[in-house]
Structure formats: structure tokens, C-alpha cells
Amino acid sequence: MAFFEALFKDIGIDLGTANSLIYVKSQGIIVNEPSVAAMNMKTSKILAVGDEAKKMLGRTPAHINVVRPLVNGVISDFEMTEEMLRHLLNRGKTNPFMSYRRAILAIPDNLTEVERKSVEDAALGAGCSKVYLVESPVAAALGAGLPITVPEANLIVDIGGGTTDIAVISMGGTVVSRTLKVAGDRFNDDIMRFVRDEFQLAIGESTAEFTKIAVGSAIPLDERLEIPVRGRDMATGLPREISMKNTHARAALSKSLRAIADAVHETIEATPPELAGDVLRHGIVLCGGGALLRGIGDLIERETGVEVTIAHDPLTCVIRGLGQMIDDFESHRDFLDNPLKPLSITL
């Protein structure tokens, strides 16, 4: 039995827009890297995946294509996604004969059947024998330690790289959900646009992300944060440096943050009355990389009147939830085989 388990592993995969994480049964999280791949177009070979590929963004010659194959939680480049996933899975192999028997992948709530099939096919093509899908909010809630199997509501807000998933979960399923294409990537775009319009300076995605992490906030701060930001002057075409304050970053992010707060409000409005009372009693749990933005919990709490808690280690909530499903597959099988579609709120 031990020999069989050494050769055939069960894994959980959080294939995110910004980062991909892989959990292997009895080993824990073995991969946590950016969802980026670099390919040499002359030889059609993958040059780098993950951290190494992300360093190349905006810094490569014409024949090297650096792509993020997932956009807004959806596969936009199937072949690159499959190759990236194959490379990441190979990193977890302890011997050349090892293979992956079962894989559970987390997906956003609102994917179409075609989009779900593409995720499944990518995992199968990368070397997984059998693939199960589960909604990201359910996995995130499980990873955050919420009692999702009881007949009480738990409201989770997963602010990832490409999407923000908001879901009310009860009895192991999603009752009301909302998926918003406003998340970490949109925050970066907002900062790039603000710097261009206010300072006439063109900056790249990596610089915008660094600025967001260093001085970004959702509400006014007591402390004053400031960093130098370098880019290309749009008037002269020459390099230039400006000083970016937390007040600038907050102004840049305000519209997107308002959209997230409004979406949480709308989700609570659509929640059945009994479950809405549970939400008020239990509060809202934030997870995902966006939950690390300064003051975002206070902003949502102020807008909804419901207490907001940031999950422990919010970046890994989804993969930790998948890990629990992998470690005790039979107990969590019902989460994977529920064909019912939750009520979805549309604009």
C-alpha cells in the first residue's frame, strides 16, 4: 500500500490568475508560483515558468513571449496553460515513475460548461488521471476554517488576482454567489492609469503591483507612506522618477474598491432572510491576496454594517481547503459532485 501511495499521488490545484498553488497529499503545499510562462517563439520551447518567467515580464526581445495564460479566472491560452501546469507538476515529482491519480481544481463560480471543460482538459493533458472541480469560495471557506456543512450561512469574499468571488455558503453548497472581474489585476491597472493621467508617466505592471503593495490602502491611514516610482516620461520619452503617496494610491483604487463593496452589499441583499441573520451574527470573512490591502476590511465593514475578519494566511485559503478535500476525499466528495447551479446575481 505504501509503495502504491508513493507512485500515485492525489493533488489539489489552485490555478489562479495571479498565482498557481499545488498541494500533494501527505506532503503539503509544494508549489506556490506566479501563473506566468515564457516561450521562445523560434524554437517553440518553454523557457521559464513561475517566478523566473515573471521576472521577464516587459523585459524580453521580440522572439520571447511572456504570457499570463489565465485572465479573470478563465483560461485564455489553453496550450500555454497546459504546458505551465505540466512544468509545475513535474516539480512536485520525487521520482520519475511518480504520477498523479486524482486532482481537485478550484474554479470561479460563474464558469460556463465550456470553460469548466477547458480547465479539466488542461489538467488531464498535464498528466492528471482524473479531475474533479470545486467552486473556489467553497474551498476558500473550508481553508479558512468556517463550518460550511451546518445549516447556517457563512459569507466569504475571495479577492484574487483576476476575480473577486463573493458567496454565501450553507450546508456545504453555495446559496447566493457573485463573481466580479475586479480584483488584484484591476488594482494594478488602476494605478498604471492614475500615474499616466496625473503624472504623465508610463509604468509597467510589475511597478504598479509593487506600488499597490507598498503604499496602497482602502481607507485614509494615520501614517504617511511614500515611495519613488520610476517610468518613462510620456512627453519627452526619457526616464523619470516621481514620488507616489498613499493618498495617490487610494484615489487610484477608489472606484474598484467601491465596486467590490457594492457587490458584497448586493449579495447580502439577495440572501434569504434566515441566512442574512446568520451573516450578521457570524460576520464576513475576507481571503485572497486582495485581503492584504490596508483597510479593505474596515471599508467593507463600514459599507455593510457587518463585522469583517481577515482569514489567517489569506493567500493560501483555497489551496488549504483543497488540501483538506484531498486528505479526506470520501468525506468531502459531496462538495465535488453537486450539479446544482447556485443563484447568480447579474448586473
Query: What average pLDDT is seen over the chain?
Result: 87
Mean pLDDT of 255-281: 92
* Residue count of the chain: 347
Better-predicted residue by pLDDT, 347 or 328: 328
Better-predicted residue by pLDDT, 212 or 127: 212
Pick the CATH number of 184-252 from 3.60.21.10, 3.40.50.300, 3.30.450.70, 3.90.640.10: 3.90.640.10
Mean pLDDT of 320-338: 82
Share of the chain above pLDDT 70, in %: 93
Mean pLDDT of 29-58: 89
13 sits in the region (left: phi over 0; alpha: psi -120 to 50; else beta) called beta
Domain covering 2-35+72-139+318-337: architecture:
2-Layer Sandwich (3.30)
304 sits in which H/E element = helix 296-304
Mean pLDDT of 61-82: 87
The per-residue pLDDT for 196 is 96
- In the chain, which ranges are continuous DSSP H helix? 2-7, 51-54, 78-91, 113-125, 136-143, 184-199, 205-215, 246-269, 273-282, 296-304, 317-327, 333-336
Q: Determine whether domain 148-182+257-314 maps to CATH 3.40.50.2300.
A: no
Query: Sorting pLDDT into bands at 50, 70 and 90, what band is 187?
Result: very high
Decide if pLDDT at 90 tops 70.
Answer: yes
The per-residue pLDDT for 97 is 61
Query: Sorting pLDDT into bands at 50, 70 and 90, what band is 1?
Result: very low
Decide if pLDDT at 7 tops 60.
Answer: yes
Rounded Cα distance between 17 and 53, Å, is 14
Decide if pLDDT at 339 tops 50.
Answer: no
Decide if pLDDT at 10 tops 80.
Answer: yes
Q: Which of 68-72, 95-99, 115-119, 189-193 has the lowest mean pLDDT?
A: 95-99
Residues near 3 by beta carbon (within 8 Å), at least 6 away in sequence:
none
Decide if pLDDT at 285 tops 80.
Answer: yes
How many other C-beta atoms are found inside a 10 Å radius of the C-beta of residue 134? 22
The per-residue pLDDT for 123 is 87
Q: Which of 102-116, 189-203, 237-251, 315-329 has the lowest mean pLDDT?
A: 102-116
Tell me the per-residue pLDDT of 134-145, one tens digit each, with 9 for 90 and over. Answer: 988 999 999 999
Same fold across 2-35+72-139+318-337 and 148-182+257-314: yes
Would you kindly state where each structural domain of the chain is located, as residue ranges? Answer: 2-35+72-139+318-337, 148-182+257-314, 184-252
The per-residue pLDDT for 341 is 47
How many other C-beta atoms are found inside a 10 Å radius of the C-beta of residue 11? 24
Decide if pLDDT at 24 tops 70.
Answer: yes
Tell me the per-residue pLDDT of 212-243, one tens digit each, with 9 for 90 and over. Answer: 999 999 999 888 999 999 999 999 999 999 99
The per-residue pLDDT for 345 is 52
The per-residue pLDDT for 347 is 44
